[in-house]
Amino acid sequence: MLLSESYEPGTFIPYLILIFDLIKGMSWPLAVAVVAYFFSSELKDLIPRVSHVGKDGIVISPPHQVVPELKKVESVEPSDKLLKELSDPSAIVLEEENRRSLEAVTDGTKEDRLLRALTIQQMYFGFARAYADIFGSQIRALKELNSNGKTRSEAEAQFADLKKELPVFEKWSLDSYIKFLCDWNFIEEKNGRFEITLTGRNFLLYLVEFGLSEDRLN
């Protein structure tokens, strides 16, 4: 079995290897179908990184992250298209509930409430995009920074330990590893120290509020 990176104990990879050992006598198309059936949810994260499947096993490409452009969360421009009649029953029910809530606002803050709700939803949308590509180790790093900042030398030493734990990062530098966090404005470097930003703290609160796990690849 050929894997290009290591996985923590307890993941489904050992079971995947066992399955492949048991079905060596099958044709490879059938074997892949069997694995896909039993491990469909786990394969969701791995499939985009499977670069080769053959008689010698599976080769998984190194991790990558989609780094957002400067405008990470697009603003919503007022448009007549937004007033198109809704056809989704769930959306219709939701809009009616929102309409009733707005009609109950009589203190002149209706527009401010709408603007704030839109802003928060845009932030949540951005956090969802970030969560789709963030590494578990980066979430843990954010949680550590939330307790206390780190000097660059401390961060370098910690990243060296991470590369020993996860050899997939062997060719990565600290700066390439934290670029994703910096571009999302989750962390910043000030006077040689890395600190979590208020946006980074709100991202961690978002994970807690929606019960999102830090147990992710890498």
Do 116 and 48 belong together in one domain? no
Tell me how far apart the alpha carbons of residues 104 and 46 are, in angstroms, rounded to a whole number. 48
Single out the residue in 70, 101, 130 at which a domain terminates. Answer: 130
- pTM equals 0.67
**Which of the four pLDDT bands, split at 50, 70 and 90, describes residue 218?**
confident
* pLDDT (mean) for 94-99: 90
The total number of structural domains in the chain stands at 3
Do 184 and 155 belong together in one domain? yes
Tell me how far apart the alpha carbons of residues 203 and 123 are, in angstroms, rounded to a whole number. 9
Task: Show the tokens assigned to 50.
Answer: 């499977």
43/155: higher pLDDT: 155
Please indicate, yes or no, if residue 71 is contained in any of the structural domains: no
Please indicate, yes or no, if residue 105 is contained in any of the structural domains: yes
* Containing structural domain, residue 109: 80-130
Tell me how far apart the alpha carbons of residues 24 and 82 are, in angstroms, rounded to a whole number. 55
Tell me how far apart the alpha carbons of residues 113 and 194 are, in angstroms, rounded to a whole number. 35
Please indicate, yes or no, if residue 111 is contained in any of the structural domains: yes
State the pLDDT at residue 10.
42
Do 161 and 173 belong together in one domain? yes
Do 204 and 136 belong together in one domain? yes
Tell me how far apart the alpha carbons of residues 168 and 13 are, in angstroms, rounded to a whole number. 15
Rg (CA), the chain: 23
95 phi and psi angles, rounded to 5 deg: -65, -35
State the pLDDT at residue 63.
65
